[in-house]
Chains A and B, each alone.
Chain A
Amino acid sequence: DVKVTQSSRYLVKRTGEKVFLECVQDMDHENMFWYRQDPGLGLRLIYFSYDVKMKEKGDIPEGYSVSREKKERFSLILESASTNQTSMYLCAVKPGGANVLTFGAGSRLTVL
């Protein structure tokens, strides 16, 4: 089974700072996803990628960008963090042809 690692578990940033959240898988799966989790709203898809340098917007891409330069790594970027981006961010991986997501442990971001 794939292992998904989000190295930053807790971050505190100031408004306007640039924030990088990294996600690394230990296999070679094509599909990687960034979700945002907020109480009462479940998980909402921010961006996903189905191959290196390929990306697609999800449901709430505003204020975010992503980078996938290597197959195993998918980064979420907040160009200028705002307080309404305080949230839990979850990375997930899905093998091509499968439908089950494997999640990282999450990165809890607080923007002051």
Chain B
Amino acid sequence: AQSVTQPDIHITVSEGASLELRCNYSYGATPYLFWYVQSPGQGLQLLLKYFSGDTLVQGIKGFEAEFKRSQSSFNLRKPSVHWSDAAEYFCAVVGNTGGFKTIFGAGTRLFVKA
């Protein structure tokens, strides 16, 4: 069955430090991959997506993610975290055969300390 694993429930980083949020997926083929961010009390907003091509994708707010087929991973990174990045981050997959369902990971809550 398709699944998405975000092994870290929460992460705390200092402002200005680098960030990496982990995501692993289980799927029969290479799916479409996404990262969404949810600020407190809000819905989810797309950060970036990977469909094909260059395995390093750039997103909004200075985030990037790297697709590694051999590891079935799609980790999110940011070189220097800002206090406003404190939020919950969700990794998600959609089958690339045109299915309707998006499958989400459990989320990683990011705390930023001054």
- What residues of chain A have their CB less than 8 Å away from a CB belonging to chain B? 4, 6, 31, 33, 35, 40-45, 48, 50, 56, 58, 90, 92, 94, 99-106
- Within 29-67 of B, Cβ neighbours of A (below 8 Å) are at 32, 34, 36, 41-46, 49, 51
- What residues of chain B have their CB less than 8 Å away from a CB belonging to chain A? 4, 6, 9, 32, 34, 36, 41-46, 49, 51, 90, 94, 100-102, 104-107
20 sampled A-B residue pairs with Cβ under 8 A: A31-B100, A40-B9, A40-B106, A43-B44, A43-B90, A45-B101, A45-B102, A90-B44, A92-B43, A92-B44, A99-B32, A99-B34, A100-B46, A101-B44, A101-B102, A103-B36, A103-B44, A103-B45, A105-B41, A106-B43
Known A40-B9, A42-B90: A106·B42 in contact at CB below 8 Å: yes
